[in-house]
Amino acid sequence: MNRLPVSHPALDFMIAFVRGRIDRVRREELSRGASAVEWVVISAIVVGIVVAIGFTIKGALNGKADDVKNCIDNADGSSSNC
């Protein structure tokens, strides 16, 4: 296993561990990067949807707030819209 002229249990363990890690990396599929990119794209889409909904809600709330303000300003009873 160890091709070095010295043999030590810790060195033998380290060499076996590194070889195992290298073999595991070589056997794994290379789709991990693609999966990460897919998650980034999905996250960007979700963030875009949330931002769009947020702007829609903000616009609706600002419109209603203006309506309430106008009703308060015209509180003398002359406005029938409130």
Residue 62 belongs to some domain of the structure: yes
Please report which confidence band the pLDDT of residue 79 belongs to, taking 50, 70 and 90 as the band edges.
low
Which tokens hold the place of 67?
A: 């309506």
Mean pLDDT of 67-80: 76
Residue 57 belongs to some domain of the structure: yes
Residue 16 belongs to some domain of the structure: no
Dist CA 21 CA 23 (whole Å): 5
Residue 49 belongs to some domain of the structure: yes
Q: Is residue 48 classed exposed, middle or buried when 0-12, 13-18 and 19+ CB atoms within 10 A define those classes?
A: exposed
Task: Quote the domain boundaries for residue 57.
Answer: 36-71
pLDDT, tens digit (0-9, with 9 covering 90-100), for 11-69 = 788 888 888 888 877 776 656 666 778 888 999 999 999 999 999 999 999 999 998 88
What confidence score (pLDDT) does residue 3 get?
63
Count of domains observed in the chain: 1
User: Taking a C-beta distance cutoff of 8 angstroms, is the pair 81, 71 a contact?
Assistant: yes
What confidence score (pLDDT) does residue 50 get?
95
What confidence score (pLDDT) does residue 36 get?
78
Residue 42 belongs to some domain of the structure: yes
